[in-house]
Structure 1
Amino acid sequence: MHTSWLTANSYGKLSNQVQGAFIAPLPAFDIVSISGADNRKYLQSQTTCDIDKLGDDVFLRGAHCDAKGKTWSVFHLLQQGDELLAVAFRDELTASVAQWRKFGVFSKVSFTPAQDRFAVLGIGGTGAARLIEQLGFALPAGNGKLSRHNGGVLLQLAEAHFMLVLPTEQAIALLDADYPLAAPTLWLKQHILQGLCYLEQPLIGEFVPQMLNLQAVNAISFTKGCYLGQETVARMKYLGRNKRAAWILQAATDDMPVAGSDIEQQFNDNWRRVGQVINAVNINNQLWLIAVLPNDITPADSLRLKSDSAPALQLLPLPYPLS
């Protein structure tokens, strides 16, 4: 975990008990700068999102897949001058950059770590718009939009759920100022409740994008043309091949499952493995998680986490329709 921009004083301010709007440092998220004359053209051939839709006030959510359509990473992409910045959880970004570099040797494109130049933070909670105003940013025009201020970029991921990319010096100053600071887990809980996810090491290369609901959050373009893994992704849509989706679950337990942990469903007197945890967060013995399960699962189905305590899991509604 890169924590060079987080001071001991800042760590001491972080809490899961913040009421209302908050700012949370996200040190597990990294940034890579993608530069060179072919940076847009190259990414267009590598990712599920349409790079031509990128703009000064628009960012893209997208995925990078292998040739079989299995997802290496889920990222957020924005333009910063002539360079592009990809923001993602460290495990998945490391995996994608290794592949991008391998296949980009014949293109005018380079990939440079940028986490020493920029820091990633999350903003959320009731009253987030007021807090954003105090930081000097205009509220983005909606989901998928961004605003800029003094070298920083604010991305609206969902309703009252934001990602903030700041020059490192500004991030340090912000955390030392008098703002409500929260632990990353509070932001990650919101991320899960918005039906959004990222990939940790055990699950990289395991799922096609539709199993992560990426078609429902505008992270897949079905009109842009060819890209790595596109044949599989298109088959899932047009031939109805996808039988799995990402679902939000909750339980009262002190368990904290890791990525890839099994979820079981009851069939008569037996329990059978039906899915895997993608991301999970536990705050005050309340567990929230997002998991890949059959896409026809219902609240009437009996689900549990496979663990020593085997807590029952409650299915929560997704904030968007699946298509």
Structure 2
Amino acid sequence: MHTSWLTAEQYAQLSTQVHDAYLAPLPAFQVLAISGPDNRKYLQGQTTCDIETLTADTFLRGAHCDAKGKMWAIFQLFAKDDALLMVAFRDELQASAAQLKKFGVFSKVSFDQTTEPYAVLGLGGSQAEQLVTQLGFSLPAADGQVSHGQHGSLLRLAAAHFMLVLPQTQAQQLMTADWPLAAPTVWLRAHILQGLAYLEQPLIGEAVPQMLNLQAIDAISFTKGCYIGQETVARLKYRGGNKRASYILHANTNELPVAGTAIELQLEQNWRRIGQVINAVNINDQLWLLALLPNDITPADTLRLSAEQPVLLQQLPLPYSLN
């Protein structure tokens, strides 16, 4: 895991044993600043979300797709001064940035990750709202809202599930102060349990937005103008044809599968590959994962993780409706 703004000693001291509220550094998530007078117009033609609805107090979830509707990235986007800040997992952000820069030469837009390098932290726990106040932020009133503090911005992804974006110098100061710090896996587990995905390298360019449930979390606008990949995304909504979705699975095991690992379905005495792992985290031999599966899967179906010692998986409910 990329830990450029953390020391090895700091990273080693992070614990999965947290209570009430926590801050978790997320060094594998990065920030791309998109500037220039055409930045909103340019992104409007590149992404699934409606940039015209973005305000100072909100952020957008969205995806960046290729011409066939397959995703380069899933991201959070918010405004900071005259720039738009795109937050995503490092693999997908690098893939998306390469494509954005390729076509951005025709617009008045620039892309930067170095002028003011940012850090990303996760914030959560049952007492997360109190921690938000202690950090000097006002509490975002609803999911999709952002609160700006003296040095950073706080995005409310879900109830008690936040993302904090701030300059690396301020993040380093947080790491040396007396805050309840946790390992990244603690926040990532909560992210999975919210049914929220990010793209690791094996899944980049492999899935359309509806396969990762982006329509269920308001990450696709079906009323905005044209954007790259729109034809495929719109066809799946209005004509059907998408047969896959993402589901939350759990198991008691010490396995930690990588993205792309096969998920199998039992058919009488046989097993057949029907899906793959999107994201996974294991804490104290408890495995949680998001899996890409047929959208007619039910909790009664018997699933297992393909491994040297196959692991039976339990389906957990999604916190939102796919309909």
Task: Provide the C-alpha distance between the structure 1 equivalents of 2:266 and 2:184, rounded to a whole number of angstroms.
Answer: 34
Aligned residue for 1:155, secondary structure, equals strand
Equivalence for 1:192 = 192
Offset of 1:3 from its aligned partner? 2.5
Task: Provide the C-alpha distance between the structure 1 equivalents of 2:2 and 2:8, rounded to a whole number of angstroms.
Answer: 14
Task: Provide the C-alpha distance between the structure 2 equivalents of 1:91 and 1:214, rounded to a whole number of angstroms.
Answer: 19
1:214-293 equivalent positions in 2, closer than 5 A = 214-293=214-293
Determine if contact 2:70/2:229 at 8 Å carries over to the other structure.
yes
Offset of 1:268 from its aligned partner? 1.2
Task: Provide the C-alpha distance between the structure 1 equivalents of 2:68 and 2:56, rounded to a whole number of angstroms.
Answer: 33
Aligned residue for 1:163, secondary structure, equals strand
Query: 1:76 and 1:114, CA in 2 relative to 1: closer, same or farther beyond 3 A?
Result: farther
State the superposition RMSD in angstroms.
Answer: 1.1
Task: Provide the C-alpha distance between the structure 2 equivalents of 1:130 and 1:90, rounded to a whole number of angstroms.
Answer: 30
Offset of 1:8 from its aligned partner? 4.1
Query: 1:6 and 1:190, CA in 2 relative to 1: closer, same or farther beyond 3 A?
Result: same
Query: 1:8 and 1:308, CA in 2 relative to 1: closer, same or farther beyond 3 A?
Result: closer
Task: Provide the C-alpha distance between the structure 2 equivalents of 1:12 and 1:267, rounded to a whole number of angstroms.
Answer: 44
After the TM superposition, which segments of 4 or more aligned residues of structure 1 sit over 3 Å from their partners?
none
Determine if contact 1:32/1:115 at 8 Å carries over to the other structure.
no
Determine if contact 2:4/2:27 at 8 Å carries over to the other structure.
no
Equivalence for 2:77 = 77
Task: Provide the C-alpha distance between the structure 2 equivalents of 1:273 and 1:183, rounded to a whole number of angstroms.
Answer: 32
TM-score by length of 1: 0.98
Equivalence for 1:6 = 6
Task: Provide the C-alpha distance between the structure 2 equivalents of 1:10 and 1:136, rounded to a whole number of angstroms.
Answer: 23
Aligned residue for 1:249, secondary structure, equals strand
Equivalence for 1:303 = 303
Matched, 1:61 2:57: no
Letter in 1 for 2:23: I
Offset of 1:118 from its aligned partner? 1.3
Offset of 1:103 from its aligned partner? 1.2
Task: Provide the C-alpha distance between the structure 2 equivalents of 1:115 and 1:124, rounded to a whole number of angstroms.
Answer: 29
Deviations 1:250-288 (A, max 9, x none): 000111000000000011111000001000000000000
Letter in 1 for 2:110: S
1:151-190 equivalent positions in 2, closer than 5 A = 151-190=151-190
Offset of 1:167 from its aligned partner? 1.5
Bigger mean CA deviation after superposition, 6-15 or 93-102: 6-15
Letter in 1 for 2:101: R
Equivalence for 2:131 = 131
Equivalence for 2:26 = 26
Aligned residue for 1:72, secondary structure, equals strand
Determine if contact 2:123/2:161 at 8 Å carries over to the other structure.
yes
Instruction: Give the number of equivalent residue pairs.
Output: 323
Q: Percent identity?
A: 67
Equivalence for 1:204 = 204
Equivalence for 2:213 = 213
Offset of 1:129 from its aligned partner? 0.3
Query: 1:241 and 1:115, CA in 2 relative to 1: closer, same or farther beyond 3 A?
Result: farther
Determine if contact 1:30/1:114 at 8 Å carries over to the other structure.
no
Deviations 1:89-108 (A, max 9, x none): 00000000101111111111
